[in-house]
Amino acid sequence: MATAYHNLSEYDFNSVPDASEMKFGIVVSEWNYNITGALLQGAIDTLQKHGAKPENILVKHVPGSFELTYGASRLIDSTEVDAVIAIGCVVRGDTPHFDYVCQGTTQGIAHLNATCGIPVIFGLITTNTMEQAEDRAGGKLGNKGDECAITAIKMIDFSWSLEK
């Protein structure tokens, strides 16, 4: 569903499992930090709203969105998190760089999801303008960070349900 028809911060609170025993890793890009910082805060606030303990939320920064895959991979290998949220923002420019970064990051995160054993949540905003990014980072379309946090909680719950 297109974001223009769905507020990223609206959801049924009661449909989200308790996160009090879950451990989260968040890898966030420093590039466009005015956007990624707002997404990060949205994710942290939503995780805590659903019971996640601050000490169970590990945040690491990487220089740009292309580095999210490596950052997430290292976080998975070096810690005992139950899911990783990868947060970045790429705004289209005048060169094909946008396409390469978006494609590479998307493929990298998809690969991690298929191979690493824990959920890696795709929190990469790809927009044509900075205004569109702002709209998705706490603006009129809500906060993609909220949506990523809910997805992480639900995917951990899904994974745990298969282990029983």
Active site residues: 97
Q: What is the 3-state secondary structure (H, E, C) of the chain?
A: CCHHHCCCCCCCHHHCCCCCCCCEEEEEECCCHHHHHHHHHHHHHHHHHCCCCHHHEEEEEECCHHHHHHHHHHHHHHCCCCEEEEEEEEECCCCCHHHHHHHHHHHHHHHHHHHCCCCEEEEEEEECCHHHHHHCEEECCEEHHHHHHHHHHHHHHHHHHHHC
